């Protein structure tokens, strides 16, 4: 029998994690817990929360989902008015508790904890240098490198040591730090990964919250007030909020895949509605390569918004022709008698009455290796569809990402090795079309070129260190 792992649907690209921070709330641990619930889609392998009561930092992290980890008893052991939280998706082989975040340490700067979203492109180089000078690492995540840089710094205060560390690291990072008396957050100078700011008003004063996506604010009734800017560090403590640029911001390189797939459609990411972006992707896709079909069917859940846009622009009726089972566990044992396409069938089931005899437009957000698309097309045909037209709401994925996305190596990316027609033949559809790069830019209104499209173009916005190592060792936190 084969054991299937189902942390996320099929062969998608993955975002590494979601981060959350809060300062000034008497139930900071509970707010972090709720925030991580809203960010659970960004990582299902492990989760952790660190809190501070002004005297001591408390931390709990474990493998599993947020709801499984943080019981009432665990949350009672996380007191304090400030907290940071993290939910992780592992992008390399080390799926161990040692790599769960937040990381915490006691050093000459006091007790500190950190959580990170992104990937440091010079982590291997920095780690070797630190180890050569006596640093001992407990985990394989590049986030631990940041803690060592802060601890090693000759600066006397945590903010000063963090400024020094931030100038040494390269790549993509949105960071939340927790000290006994403050929360510090920072974003890389290119702004690859999102970090939104929210505010709650209590009788005792303002409460500031930070999150990878604004959907975390909705759950706790916080108001979105803006983003941490690229190259900015924000310190929230007894003296209120202080904002400063620790370096000169670079030309922005916001990850466009946040709008294509990663983020929840009810979020504002980089200040823009994800739902609106995805519907526009679908509308432009319908205009780009029209097809005479009977129904538009999304591949749930990530294809729904684009399929709605496609339906509106084309006039072809939208139908939920594939139903997703949301209650599949993290692992599942395949029956001893092999069932064809078992893994996909476990997640999706066709509505035969809707598909039988129909010409179907299948809309999805991405096509990475092609194996899952092949199985879904076969499933739809077996349910009686007359024709299957596949539409992908982003361009072909041609290059790996080194900024916090689990992209397969180039040899595993089907679009890097085959033509669109060869891919169409492989997945078994009647037609196949991807959204053009130009139309993707229009969908996210990228008039001033603020987004990173490296996974579609191979043009990376930063100088990459140890490119050979990065090609083999994908991000790991």
* Cβ burial 446-458 (10 Å sphere, 16+ → b, else e): beeebbbbbbbee
Dihedral over Cα of 261, 263, 269, 275: its sign: positive
Q: What is the pLDDT of residue 92?
A: 43
Please say if the pLDDT value at position 9 is more than 60. Answer: no
- Give Cβ neighbours of residue 345 (< 8 Å, ≥ 6 apart): 339, 379
* Residue 17 is a catalytic residue: yes
107 annotated as a binding-site residue: no
**Over residues 391-408, mean pLDDT:** 90
Q: Which CATH class, in words, describes the domain spanning 268-460?
A: alpha beta
Give 445-475 pLDDT, tens digit per residue. Answer: 999 999 999 999 999 999 874 454 455 444 4
452 annotated as a binding-site residue: yes
Dihedral angle, C-alpha 309, 312, 318, 323, nearest 10 °: 10
pLDDT bucket at 1, cuts 50 / 70 / 90: very low
Query: Model pTM?
Result: 0.91
59 annotated as a binding-site residue: no
In the chain, where the domains are located:
3-253, 268-460
Please say if the pLDDT value at position 38 is more than 90. Answer: yes
**Over residues 14-28, mean pLDDT:** 88
Phi/psi of residue 109, nearest 5 degrees = -95, 5
Q: Tell me how far apart the alpha carbons of residues 448 and 165 are, in angstroms, rounded to a whole number.
A: 30
365 annotated as a binding-site residue: yes
Name the CATH architecture for the domain at 3-253.
4-Layer Sandwich (3.60)
Residue 50: beta bridge partners?
A: 59, 84
Select which of 17, 59, 215, 394 is catalytic: 17
């Amino acid at each position: 029998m084969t054991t299937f792992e189902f942390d996320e649907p099929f062969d998608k690209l993955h975002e590494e994690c979601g981060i959350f921070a809060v300062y000034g709330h008497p139930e900071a641990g509970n707010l972090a817990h709720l925030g991580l619930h809203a960010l659970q889609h960004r990582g299902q392998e492990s989760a952790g929360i660190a809190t501070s009561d002004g005297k001591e930092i408390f931390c709990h992290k474990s493998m599993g989902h947020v709801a499984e980890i943080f019981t009432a008893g665990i949350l009672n052991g996380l007191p304090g008015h400030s907290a940071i939280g993290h939910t992780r998706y592992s992008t390399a082989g080390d799926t161990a508790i040692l790599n769960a975040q937040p990381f915490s340490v006691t050093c000459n700067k006091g007790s500190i904890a950190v959580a990170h979203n992104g990937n440091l492109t010079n982590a291997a180089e920095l780690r070797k240098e630190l180890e050569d000078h006596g640093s001992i690492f407990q985990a394989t995540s590049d986030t631990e490198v940041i803690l060592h840089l802060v601890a090693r710094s000759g600066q006397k205060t945590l903010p000063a040591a963090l400024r020094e560390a931030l100038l040494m690291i390269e790549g993509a990072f949105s960071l939340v730090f927790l000290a006994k008396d403050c929360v510090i957050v920072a974003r890389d100078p290119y702004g690859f990964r999102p970090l939104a700011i929210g505010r709650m008003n209590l009788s005792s004063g303002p409460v500031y919250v930070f999150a990878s996506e604004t959907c975390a604010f909705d759950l706790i009734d916080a108001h979105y007030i803006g983003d941490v800017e690229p190259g900015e560090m924000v310190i929230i403590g007894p003296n209120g909020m202080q904002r400063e640029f620790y370096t000169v911001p670079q030309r922005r390189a916001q990850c466009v895949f946040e709008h294509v797939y990663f983020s929840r459609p009810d979020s504002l990411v980089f200040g823009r509605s994800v739902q609106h972006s995805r519907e526009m992707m679908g509308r432009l896709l319908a205009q780009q390569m029209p097809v005479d079909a009977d129904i538009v069917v999304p591949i749930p859940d990530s294809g729904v918004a684009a399929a709605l846009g496609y339906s509106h622009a084309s006039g072809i009726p939208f139908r939920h022709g594939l139903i997703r089972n949301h209650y599949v566990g993290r692992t599942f044992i395949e029956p001893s008698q092999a069932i064809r396409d078992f893994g996909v069938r476990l997640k999706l089931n066709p509505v035969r009455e809707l598909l039988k005899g129909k010409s179907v437009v299948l809309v999805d957000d991405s096509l990475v290796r092609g194996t899952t698309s092949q199985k879904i097309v076969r499933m739809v045909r077996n349910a009686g569809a007359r024709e299957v037209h596949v539409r992908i709401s982003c361009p072909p994925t041609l290059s790996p990402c080194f900024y916090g996305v689990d992209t397969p190596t180039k040899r595993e990316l089907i679009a890097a090795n085959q033509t669109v027609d060869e891919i169409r033949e492989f997945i078994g559809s009647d037609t196949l079309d991807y959204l053009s790069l130009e139309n993707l830019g229009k969908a996210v209104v990228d008039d001033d070129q603020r987004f990173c499209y490296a996974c579609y173009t191979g043009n990376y916005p930063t100088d990459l260190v140890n490119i050979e190592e990065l090609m083999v060792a994908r991000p790991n936190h």
